[in-house]
Structure 1
């Protein structure tokens, strides 16, 4: 009998109840938090309603008093004449009975009522305005800001929760308009009927409401606690009931297994087979054990002779005689030998025969028992017949070399594989690639140490699906301690993993938009900051708030507002990369974290893309809605190096964007705003420069070293800005590349240079080569060769008249691609040159494969060639290398006669520099080359 594990039932009960209890607790906790938050919202809404009601009464009283023009009251020490009514005739009067009365206008009456109301109930009323007669009505900073907003027509009422004298209050303010009857006093300030002349407001103490919130939250906590206990009790009761049923089922299964095991053990011990004979039908039946004992196939036809053939030859006569005696009514009980594949076994046979009344055999039943000490492997039969075949858990058995030798039906149901599929395979056939390598290392370490391991594996189904399973692997050893088999059990945990993923998603994502929530944002921003610190790269945090979203939400309803927020989230995701972080912390606020940006200013174009995208109209349930974003940006590490600081500074920048009129982007640092604005302005003006033809080409001559004669010119791009004059290419070319304008500009340069070359040819200045620089974007463009061919055909250029220059670093960045592109250009008859040679990281192996004719020695080596032995050695070596490869050399930056002489001595082919001419517009060179000179050795001499 097997021993019962006393801890098995509690463990099973825990597996049943703990997940349910955790889910129940999470649901109740979420409900508690939600209702607690709602209790505060409802209390504040009640406070707002009370404040509005009190103010309505005050305004009603003011209108009533205004309609009656005020009242006269006795002048007392506490009630003096109103100084700002001095312009009113009859402000002070004396009655016939000698009483002194003064006029109390509606505003003063209302203020006195408000003072008494504040004294008795703590609710302080107030009248204020940007212009006022009573200095006591002058606004504070908050009131002034609201009054200005009222004046702009943005709203007519506003409220906030503020701390006043150490206690929380609700400050409520409503716009007040000029009404008939008020003009007697306020007309002197320039107000007319209908003008917005100020506001009425009050300060409502919130302490009773906060006590109400505390009481509501306490009641919520108590009620949710009771509900939680009741639910937990129900879960435990249900768990106990389930465990009881499982225990009963397990007991029944155990009893059946024990019964089967007992029978198997009895059969194993007895090793007994049986047979049955129906003589009337001449039918003989052997049990499986009988066939096994005799070692013959069940396919063979049974007969007495077959039986005798299995009996040992020395015992056949005796066995036959015993059988003949049994046919005459004697008991059949004999022990004899049999032969099974040449092995000898001893069996005992017994039989009970039945005869008809006339003595004819009618039936018989008998047994055959193996009485030898040798046993067949009944343990294996028992394993396959019971636990293995009928287990609900998927089981796989391998040999010592991990080759699969057996699986049960549950394994086929779990994985889709049959034994025929897996023969001579190892469990690696199930590997999906999703299980971490560390898991396999831990598994083999545990099997080696303790012979057992269990854990989570991700296996691949036969149909390709990937499923998680809980695996338990055991090692089987023989009596000598040698490994004979591995047994693995698998339980499908797909539903559990799916539930875990759902819970995780709910905990880390915004339920409405699916974006990261505030908690997940903080975690992911911390990770992004750690990576940015490690890589020493900037990071940008954008705080985005939708302008006037509350108006849409309050006017059209929360359903429309929710759909609008969902569309905003979709547009935001489309504006950024997958590696960036997009979150909705709450309300109409969104946060975008830009990671892996190359420079801090790279955040500006993305922010403006978001600004433009979110500002487009929204189609929501047949309505066209409009909202714009206000975006604040903080940068790491300039504006902070931790999550809290960056978020706070981005929020500050966002409010600055609001103050600037909404629908704009503001950096936290003013310098970044300036730099970003300048860059965006330069990009905008760069696009205008294309349309308004502000670009020009300057040309610098190249001469032959041998005689100083003109060889060609290099076209150099200049931007003549109408306001700033000539702008250096070093400043605007990088922006053109980022803005995607460089290919358009490059195409214009190529066309203009070719046009000028033909113009010079037609003017009689022939024999020139035109060198044009290519950008990296142009070199990568598949349309470059076609574009160059079009220029050659259109202008009728001859072979070698057009020379294209690429920088050394540009060609070496992707040598294979550069070689293919340059070969296409070379085939068009274009000369090719490597510019700035020696300043990059050239590979001579690739250099010799580039289809170039010329290399240009960089000016950094030429500049100090007279005084620096290293520069002289590099220049000399470069010239020797180029000539050995059959290449021509152009030396850049030649400014002195000594430099020219040094380069001439060492065989430099061509020279370029200020010694022969600075870059000048085409008309300058046209005039200079056209002037007749008697003794000029070179057409480039001045």
Structure 2
């Protein structure tokens, strides 16, 4: 309890505050320690528990904890004291002052034997941390027990059920990719050893389909014992598989871009004037002669990279670009660290903000050293024709100054797309150049003729007669005769690829300055690529055309600045509504485009559209007040008469106006009849997702009769669905939808359990029948857990596996896989019968039938119904029966409705029959009555 020295060290106000605090009722023992660890005050509970002997024992343990808190003041240090009287849990926290220095400590003690409910509930800590992290899955590791709690999201993100793994630490470790385990172990050890404040590592884990999936694993220790060992660690799992995929694509694109620059000897750079952050491409490092391991020299400290004269011109041009946004194109001489001189063409331009301020400067340096050296050597050693032959794709020309007559080499004619030998004059060629290039050509000629400039080089844009745009580098040298300009001779080089590469590099970086979304150029380029990929892969693609409703009203009432802020918020909400692989762009004004890649079904485009409408319809807070807008969306699908981006845009635009005519704030598909089908399917899927929870499914049962002894060989369970509104849905309609949206898996488990439960009731009632049959979807067979789930359901419902028949279609066997083989092996080992349903309607393959452990073959009802009217069909059914027996399979005929058909089947040797001749499908209670009547 407080000693005299400690009591005197505290001020009266401190003691009064502490005394008041400790007067509050508490079931825990509370201690207040000064910065030296001496007890300043204690409540009644503490004085009752902590005697001199216990205080001396705790002092040593708390000293270790205080040393730990000196390095980690935010920790909670836990110590457990045990003796013959009780087990005492002690929790130590640091108290920091305004300067963040430790002023003292607080200690709470409680006895687990006396009040176990005082311990902090694990769930409370788990969810508190989960809310702080706001990530996908939560895990909680207790190092004392070795158990790990994991939230359901940890399993569902990987496709596992909640009980797929036990709570041990090693269970999750077994899912980690072997190559990633050392990194995971190192990261965890570094955190637990105190080397890192948090634990964070990304790695691959095997999902329920056997594929590797990337997750981000983060956590931290929240409780430590007095010796500094962590007692409890809490963390999260985040699914980052899609981000990893995008990261790989970006790396590949960067590699391609770097290779293109390397081939062209073209280096690029960008500079942020506000942060002075400079970026160089890999090729630019090579051109300058610096190592990529070091950052580039700052933009204002590059004098040593150029000759003084070149730096002066470059500095002047850069100042003009920064102040006035004036682009430049210069040829300068660069000095490498080893003294080597390189001639480069430097070009740069500014990226401006909405208010005209320079936000970023971007440029390229083209190393033309070798090119200039070749030109110099060619000028001194070779004549015009030799230079053309040596360099290739370079045309020669001669311009007579007095007459303006042009003479071209054949290569020059080919470059310009003109028939060789065609008479030419200088003025006649100028209209084929773009206006800017025409001005450059006239200016260059003027300088050479009037100012006697001996040589000029112009890079010009030229349009050939067939409409192609090409870039030409034209270099001319002036020749004098008797002191007067006589002629200009020179070279014309096609540099189209070089220019287009530079344009593409710059244009890829062009985004809408207001919203940050891709502009028209980038959206079109990316969309064209996505369309071509969709055509090759056959995967659907959808384009959404969005037009904001009431945006003009916001602009008119709150100002254009508020309108700009609203557009920025709309862009952010659009990004949040789509996947990372989808493309969002701003077309202009208040119009946006969304390209949905790999749309599994047309309904998905409608679901995204509804999601966008809901998101945009939420109020938007602006400095001038709240605003609320809506949007009308037109949807066009690739195909359906739309084969390229232009047709998609037209169709989506048309559909958008249809949405406005329909009342705004809604969406419309371009094809109205298709839209109705989509709406029907969307409604069906939404109802289907709730049907199981609302108990809307029922089973009907139809027996299969043995033609040998007349007994009930099997009873088939048939799924029926009646909505809460009393509408009966056909299985032909809703089963495919359930398979596409994944609901077939829980529905299938329900059908299997319900069928086994009903069969057990019949058996317990003494009713005679053979097996119970359940139809299985191919999607269920691809589930790695399906086989074990079947066995678990049979065990739960106390139904023997050797009295269960699983009916599968022929198409399910076409996708042979390890999962399917394992499932069939498990079924065979447990006596489960496999039956091929609707044989003959799918892709029949005798090799597949022979390979798998099948027992029954069911002839489709479409064959059986025509046996009396079609001789060919009679022969066909006989062939199927013979085929089944040859494969060692029992043959079952479906759809038997007349006695004459039954007799034909008996004559053919068919083993079993099913159909309305015996009974229609009946509810469980009615079939029980029917079974009892069979005797």
Structure-2-length-normalised TM-score:
0.43
Larger radius of gyration: 1
Structure-1-length-normalised TM-score:
0.43
Q: As a proportion of its length, which structure holds more helix?
A: 1
